[in-house]
Amino acid sequence: MTSADRVCRLARAMREFIAALPKVELHVHLVGSASPDTVLTLARRHPHRGVPTDEADLRAFYEFTDFTHFIDVYAKVNDLVTTGDDVAALVVGLAEEQARRNVRYAEVTVSATSHLRAGIAPDELDEALTSSRAEAWAKHGVELAWVFDVPGTWDRDFGVTSARYAVDHRPPGTVGFGLGGAESDAPRRAFREAFAIARDAGLRSVPHAGETTGPDQIWEALRDLGAERIGHGTAAVRDPELLAHLRDNGIVLEVCPTSNLRTAAVGRIEDHPLPRLLEAGVPVTLATDDPGMFHTDLNAEYLLCHERFGLGRSELADLARAGVHAGFASPELKAELLAAITAVEQGS
């Protein structure tokens, strides 16, 4: 066997290991998960909403210049989702894609007020989420949970409307409350009231922070919003005290490497903070963020960590375990997933 053959064999074995590894995903947005085919179907239904109806044009549409441009594109795609049937199609499509990557459990971020603004009635949204979640399990064996988030400054009351929806409607599977969108004009502390409403009702706090800003926004998410996990959080590498706090308190960062590159939050993969976070002992789980827009999937994120950061089987299995521990699935499902990860890691 030549050295080239050996390299190819090892690469194939790693791909097979990643494909077999049971996974959870804790940071994926419903609208951003939509496949190009799904978005094209919706765009052709609504050709005057500013989203291309040609596949090549759509791919060019998804070439983001910076984070602000990404948010603008995301808003246009979101406005294509105007009925409960549209929402259900996104949910079932996401579950199908997750099943192909051996994702057994996913916490899906839903920006409810964005859908309400697009014309979907609250009860219609509730029914769409409830029925499609059941279908996702029945057809694809993927358990979905909901994280209702504040879409940044799109909510004019700093998330109170989003929190009231999550608390008052709370469709089955609702586990958390989040905060997305641009950070520069939306300091985390401004959403304190909304998160207090959600946390008082038993929802878990999982805001984005430190994606395009500095460590100060992660501190605000922790201190003002009671964050139990942080979406992205890559700016933590700039603050040794923060790294120690995250490590010592077991606060998991939901890291999305391809997303960070595609939105220009990180300039080059060589500069991505993930290896430094792991070296500092910060618990990390991998996620895709908006896989339909970023042309990625969870297996690709694991493979990237192997090929670019040198993570081996045990390190990748640890990332999968970190996701299980950090998620809000039932203890029974967590135990099942942890056992399955160990079985694959040990080759049984």
Catalytic residues: 211
DSSP character string of 187-213: -GGGGHHHHHHHHHTT-EE--EESSSS
- Are 53 and 43 in contact by the 8 Å Cβ rule? The answer is yes
Alpha helices (H) in 204-268, listed in sequence order: 215-225, 240-248, 257-262
- 31: tokens are 């609208």
> Residue 287 in contact with residue 300, Cβ under 8 Å?
no
Given a contact cutoff of 8 angstroms between Cβ atoms, the answer to whether 246 and 232 are in contact is no
CA 79, CA 182: separation in Å to the nearest integer? 18
Q: Would you call 71 exposed, middle or buried from its count of C-beta atoms within 10 A (0-12, 13-18, 19+)? A: middle
Burial class (CB in 10 A: 0-12, 13-18, 19+), 270: exposed
Edge-to-edge strand ranges of the sheet holding 284-286? 208-209, 229-232, 252-255, 284-286
Q: How far apart are CA 47 and CA 37, in angstroms?
A: 15
Is 343 in contact with 324 (CB distance < 8 Å)?
A: no
- The answer to whether the CB of 113 falls within 8 A of the CB of 181 is no
- Among 230, 67, 43, smallest CA distance to 239 is for 230
> Residue 245 to residues 31, 234, 251, 278: CA-CA distances in angstroms?
33, 14, 8, 14
Bridge partners of 105, per DSSP, are 24, 143
